[in-house]
Amino acid sequence: MKKWQLQVGNWLTNHLKLPSDVLLELPRITTIGQFHAYIENHRGLILFTDTELQLKLTKGSLKIVGDHFVIKTLLPEEILVEGTIKEILFLESE
């Protein structure tokens, strides 16, 4: 069932030019240089420290590594992080 949904979603994005993040519930990450990262469509906070941020996603999780992190705004599906971003990693769930 899930696989079928994914296939339909893929077809829609390819042929109707609909944004993939909405249809497939994927995160949309916008960064401004090194110091701003804006993540939409996350599913919650796992970990937050000065140097690391981990977010739940629909599938797997997202890890951002850097320095002097401050969460500027935290909303159920959006998050804005400020600091010095060094890495953005997608972690596959087991």
Partner 1 sequence: MKQVQGTWLRGYITIQVIGYHPELFFDLCTRHEIDVWQIKKVDQTTCVGNIFIKDIIKTKQIRKQTRYKLRFVRKTGLPFAWKKVNKRKPLLIGFIVSLFFITLLSNMVWKIEVAGVRPEIEKQIRTTLSENGVYPGMLKFSIDSPSNLQKKILDNIPELLWVGVTEKGTTYSLEGVEKTSVSEQESRGPSNIVAAKDGVIVDMYVAKGKPMASVNDYVKKGDILVAGDLSNTDSEDDDEEKTHNKIAVEAEIYANTWYESTITVPLQANYKVLTGNVNRKYYLNLADLNLPIWGFFQETYKEEQVEVEQKSIHFFQWELPISFVKKSIFESEQITEKRSRKNAREVGIKQAKTQLQQTLGHEAEITNEKILHEASENGKVKLDLYFTVKENIVKIQDLSQGD
32 binds partner 1 (CB under 8 A): no
38 binds partner 1 (CB under 8 A): yes
Say if CB 62 and CB 93 are below 8 A apart.
Answer: no
Stretch in the footprint of partner 1 (CB under 8 A) among 2-10, 11-19, 59-67, 70-78: 70-78
67 binds partner 1 (CB under 8 A): no
Rounded to the nearest 5 percent, the helix, strand and coil shares of the chain are 20, 50, 30
How far apart CA 50 and CA 43 sit, in angstroms, is: 21
21 binds partner 1 (CB under 8 A): no
Amino acid identity of residue 85, one-letter, is I
Which stretches of the chain bind partner 1, using CB under 8 A?
38, 44-45, 47-50, 69-76, 78, 80
